[in-house]
Structure 1
Amino acid sequence: MAGYRLLIVGEAGSGKTLLLSKIISIITALGVPATVVDLAPEKGGVGAKLARYLDVGALRYFTDDFRAPRIEGRDAEEELALARANAARAEALLKRYLEEPTPVLAVNDVTIYLHAGSLEFLLDVAERAEVFLATAYYGSRLRDKGSGIAERERRAVEELMKICDVFRL
Structure 2
Amino acid sequence: MMRLKVDSLIGKRTIIIGDVGRGKTLLTLRIIKKLRELGFSNEITILDFAPSKILMGDIEAGGKLTDFGMKLNGINYYSDTIAAPRLTGRNVDEIIRLAQYNRVKCEALLLKFLENPTPILVINDITLYFQVGSLGLLPKVLGKASTFIANGYFGKSLKEDLGSGISRNERLMMMKLINFSDYVINLNEVDRVEVDC
TM range (shorter): over 0.9
Match of 1:24 in 2: 32
Structure 1 CA distance for aligned equivalents of residues 130 and 162 of structure 2: 17
User: Matched residue pairs, number?
Assistant: 167
How does the TM-score come out when normalised to structure 2?
0.81
Residues 118-144 of structure 1: CA deviation (Å, up to 9, x unaligned): 314212212210100000100011021
Q: Kindly indicate whether the alpha-carbon contact (under 8 Å) linking 2:134 and 2:173 is maintained by their aligned counterparts in 1.
A: no
State which drifts further: 124-133 or 104-113.
124-133
Q: Report the AA paired with residue 31 of structure 1.
A: G
Whether 2:167 is the aligned partner of 1:167: answer no
Structure 2 CA distance for aligned equivalents of residues 117 and 128 of structure 1: 21
Match of 1:50 in 2: 65
How far apart are 1:82 and its partner, in Å?
0.3
Work out the percentage of aligned pairs sharing the same amino acid.
41
How does the TM-score come out when normalised to structure 1?
0.94
- Larger Rg over CA atoms: 2
Structure 2 unmatched ranges of 5 or more: 1-10, 56-60, 188-197
Match of 1:109 in 2: 125
Q: CA RMSD in A?
A: 1.2
Q: Kindly indicate whether the alpha-carbon contact (under 8 Å) linking 1:43 and 1:67 is maintained by their aligned counterparts in 2.
A: no
How far apart are 1:145 and its partner, in Å?
1.1
Match of 2:121, SS?
Answer: strand
**Deviation above 6 Å: which 4+ runs of structure 1?**
none
Match of 1:40 in 2: 50
Q: Kindly indicate whether the alpha-carbon contact (under 8 Å) linking 2:133 and 2:169 is maintained by their aligned counterparts in 1.
A: no
